[in-house]
Structure 1
């Protein structure tokens, strides 16, 4: 069954849309949000946790982040949900479809028109699922994470993240440009980003192995050099980190110009 997110800043309109969606037997769950910026953060947590979201039904004219900008930001996700606009304005249809919208519904929404949009969504989701079985996403595909910065929402590329630290219910993403606090569990992020080369070095720290330049041992304690920071490796994770970097070291071929990681033994 389909899982969708409904976004509208007008409460009566949101309640009506959610009611109509839940009445459709093809819809299994409807998540509601009253504004787009918060919905974008919720969407990021859902996808990072490895959960499925099939579509977003949203208004266009909303304060702060509007529906069109929300849709533009969705393109940064590795597997963005389908988008169906539900609006009282008919002057944005061309732009909406240029952005890849699945459908464009005008308020007040007629149940039969919404049912047609859900039918199209169901067909697309089934087709995409069949394709994904034959060609699963590559682990090196990038992913974007929405973060709040000075009251604005921006996207941070996973490839730019050097390491991640847990802060209670939040994580802090560290990049060369700065750090960003995001509400999501470290455990979920670790599972999702493991295929992209992120490794747990401590119960509260996740590191991108590509950004590790050195592994150090001092008095039985291990640490990794990531940029200008030396991050401690817990005893529990030391062997895993060492084995990973040894494999990377042995895979590197100096004749091709690659640089081995210092601190690791030779063959």
Structure 2
């Protein structure tokens, strides 16, 4: 790793004292590994806002943080064309640490030590996080799916709050996520989304998942309608979603409606 150019570093931790300790340690090892701390953030959402303005080489991030945790942050960063390296910091959750290690992601146990910090930085450039692997680990750690989904649009990384998505519809190689305001194209698979969010979303059709809270009701399709056996009516938008014959009973039953 060349030492003449300082690494651009972002510190992400909801504890100011933890960020201050990292700042001090990075100063202590600057002679062996020069680095420039270009920003700090208290959670993943704040970090992504900063990264819109300033690219970095490496992100140090805690695992457990409010708003958006470090695992979810890393999964979004892993979708960037040139993602920064991610080094996790943690005081607990050893089972998660083992999973990161198996997937060639580095981590630092708190309290962080200077030599361990230097060893981690000397691995750069290293393996970048795999978003799919991180999503699975994140479910195990936090007991649920991501809070946000991400997509690229005109060179920018956009975040889509999961709680705002009305439905997902498979569209060729992409999945369209529809909110009340607009549609986003995601590089995701419908099956993966169904497995990640089983409590929030319901399968209506081989190409459609719908948010349970978004369903206003169901209606049978006309006898000559070849597109669907029935239709799901939505709250907030005028669109109707097709329900296949195979999913009709399960979809209505999944909302506690009489079939």
TM-score range, shorter chain: 0.3 to 0.5
* Structure whose residues are more often helix by fraction: 1
Q: TM-score, normalised by structure 1?
A: 0.46
